[in-house]
Amino acid sequence: MHTTLIVENLPHLEEFYRINLHTWVGCEVISCEDAKFAIEILNKHPEINLIITKAKIKTEKTLDALTDYLKESQRDCNIIIIGDSLYSKEKYTHIPSGLDAKVLVQAAARALNVTAKEMAQKVVPDFFPIPATLFLSLEESNCQVYIEQGEKYIEVFSAHTPFEPSTLTGLINKNTELLYVKKDDRLKFTSFYNEEIACQIELVKLNTNEVFNALELSQESLQKKIAKLGINQKTIALAQRNLVGMSQAAKKAPSIMHLLKKLLENKSGYQFKHSQILMFVSTHLMDNLDWGTDEQRVKLQFISFFHDIALEDDIQAMIHSESDLKKADITLEEKEHVKKHAQLAATIVSQYPNAPIGVEQIIKQHHGSINGIGFSEHYSQNISPMAIVFVLAEDFVDALIQSGEKFDVKTQIHKMKEKYSTQRFRKILEVLESITIQP
C-alpha cells in the first residue's frame, strides 16, 4: 500500500487531490496545510512515499523546508510540485495545474510505480469506500450513498436528492469515517465530485492553468444543470460566476495567441476554447470599433457565453453548417438537438434575469436562421450590427482553433473578405486583422 502526503492550504484543492488519488490510484492519503505540520506527519509516518505540494504556501518556502527535512533525515521520497516553479525538472515532477485530474493521477501513479494496467485490474469491493468528510463539500450525490452496518450496506442518500445536512454531520459526529458508493458508480461519482469542486473553488486563489481547468469543468457542470433544472437561483449564480471568471481570464490574457497557447497546453476541449477565445475577441472588437462601448462589450461577452450553452459536448459544438450536421456521427435525436440549439439557448436567456437588451434575438439567430432552427449560409440584410460582429467573430475564432499555433491572420482575413464582401463588414474585418499583432 502506498501513502501520499498532500501539503495544501486550499481545502477544495486538497479534496480534489484526495478523491482522485483515492479512487484512481488507490493510495492512502494524509494531508496538512503547511511544511511545519508536514514534517510532524513525516516523522510519524515512515511509509509515506509521495508528497504533493506547491513550492510556496503563503509566505512559507514549503518545498525548501520539506527537502531540507528529507535530506537531514536521509530519507528518500518522491515529490510532485504543483504550479510553476524554478526547481529542478529532473529531481521533481512538475505539474502546471492541480485541477487536471488526469495529469495528477498519471504523475502520482508514475511516482508510485503503479502501472495503468494495475490501476485497471485492481480488485475493488462491491461497495467502494469514500472518506465521509469529502461529502461535506457536496449538496447531493449523483449516485446512491451507503453506510456500512454490520455486514450490510444501507442507503443513506439517494441519487440527485439534496442531503439532509444534519444527517451527514450527525454521521460524521458519530465517527463515521467512510461512506460507500456502488463499485460501478465510483468513477462517475469522482467526475461529479471534480465538477462540484470546480464550481465552488475560489478562482482568485488559483494559478492561470487552474483557473482554466476550473472554468471548463464548471461550465460542463453548468450545461448539465441548465439542461436538467433550467434557469433557477443556483444555475444563475453559477453562470454569473463563470461569466465573470471567463471575461476576467480574457482580460488578463496578454494576447490572443498567448491565450490560445495556454488553452492548448491545458488540453481544453473545443467548446470551452471556443467560448473563452470569443470572450477575448469580443473585448478586442468593442475596444477597437468606434461604436464599441462598455455596454456593448458586456453584451457581446454575454452572447459569447450563452449562445452554445444548450450543446452537450464537443462533437455537437464542432457542427457549424447543415453539411457538418449531415456528416456528424451522432444519433438522430442529437441531430435534432443540435438543429435547435440556438433556439433553446435563446429560450434559456429569455428567463435569465437582467440579460442585456437584444441578446436573445442575436443568440437565436447566431447561425443565420430567423427562428433559431438549423444553419443558414445567408444572413439577412436586416441583421443588426452586433449580430454581424458576432457572426464574424465566431468564424474567426473557429479558424483560429482549427489552425492552432500555425494560424495565419492574413490568410484568414483574405478568406473572410471574399465571404463577407460588402462594405458593412470591412471595419470589423480590419479590427479582427489587428488582433494578432502581439505574439
Query: Is 235 or 316 the residue whose CB approaches Fe ion more closely?
Result: 316
Q: CB of 336: closest distance to Fe ion in angstroms?
A: 15
SS3 string, the chain, reads CCEEEEECCCHHHHHHHHHHHHHHHCCEEEEECCHHHHHHHHHHCCCEEEEEEECCECCECHHHHHHHHHHHCCCCCEEEEECCCCCCCCCCEEECCCCCHHHHHHHHHHHCCCCHHHHHHCCCCCEEEEEHHHHHHCCCECCCEEEEECCEEEEEECECCCCCHHHHHHHHHCCCCEEEEEHHHHHHHHHHHHHHHHHHCCHHHCCHHHHHHHHHHHHHHHHHHHHHHCCCHHHHHHHHHHHHHHHHHHHHCCCHHHHHHHHHHCCCCHHHHHHHHHHHHHHHHHHHCCCCCHHHHHHHHHHHHHCCCCCCCHHHHCCCCHHHHHHCCCCHHHHHHHHCHHHHHHHHHHCCCCCCCCHHHHHHCCCCCCCCCCCCCCCCCCCCHHHHHHHHHHHHHHHHHHHHHHCCHHHHHHHHHHHCCCHHHHHHHHHHHHHHCCC
Query: Is 274 or 284 the residue whose CB approaches Fe ion more closely?
Result: 274
CB 366 within 8 A of CB 390: yes
Q: CB of 273: closest distance to Fe ion in angstroms?
A: 11
Q: 10 Å Cβ neighbour count for 77? A: 16
Query: Is 193 or 306 the residue whose CB approaches Fe ion more closely?
Result: 306
C-alpha cell at 359: 441578446
Q: CB of 342: closest distance to Fe ion in angstroms?
A: 6
Residue of minimal CB distance from Fe ion?
308
Q: CB of 309: closest distance to Fe ion in angstroms?
A: 10
Span 283-312, contacts to Fe ion by CB under 5 A? 308
- Residue 318 makes CB contacts below 8 A (sequence gap 6+) with 270, 324
Query: Is 33 or 308 the residue whose CB approaches Fe ion more closely?
Result: 308
Q: CB of 393: closest distance to Fe ion in angstroms?
A: 10
Query: Helices 208-229 and 270-288: crossing angle, nearest 10°?
Result: 100
Q: CB of 421: closest distance to Fe ion in angstroms?
A: 23
CB 214 within 8 A of CB 198: yes
Q: CB of 328: closest distance to Fe ion in angstroms?
A: 14
C-alpha cell at 1: 500500500
Q: CB of 314: closest distance to Fe ion in angstroms?
A: 12
Number of chain residues interacting with Fe ion (CB under 5 A): 1
Q: CB of 427: closest distance to Fe ion in angstroms?
A: 22
Query: Is 308 or 334 the residue whose CB approaches Fe ion more closely?
Result: 308
Query: Is 29 or 281 the residue whose CB approaches Fe ion more closely?
Result: 281
CB 147 within 8 A of CB 179: yes
Q: CB of 389: closest distance to Fe ion in angstroms?
A: 14
Span 308-337, contacts to Fe ion by CB under 5 A? 308
Q: CB of 420: closest distance to Fe ion in angstroms?
A: 17
Query: Is 35 or 435 the residue whose CB approaches Fe ion more closely?
Result: 435
Distance linking the first and last C-alpha atoms of the chain: 48
Q: Which of 321, 286, 281, 272 is nearest to 433 (CA)?
A: 281
Query: Is 15 or 308 the residue whose CB approaches Fe ion more closely?
Result: 308
Query: Is 356 or 372 the residue whose CB approaches Fe ion more closely?
Result: 372
Q: Is 216 in the site for Fe ion (CB under 5 A)?
A: no
Query: Is 69 or 352 the residue whose CB approaches Fe ion more closely?
Result: 352
Span 98-127, contacts to Fe ion by CB under 5 A? none
Query: Is 100 or 398 the residue whose CB approaches Fe ion more closely?
Result: 398
Residues that bind Fe ion (CB under 5 A): 308
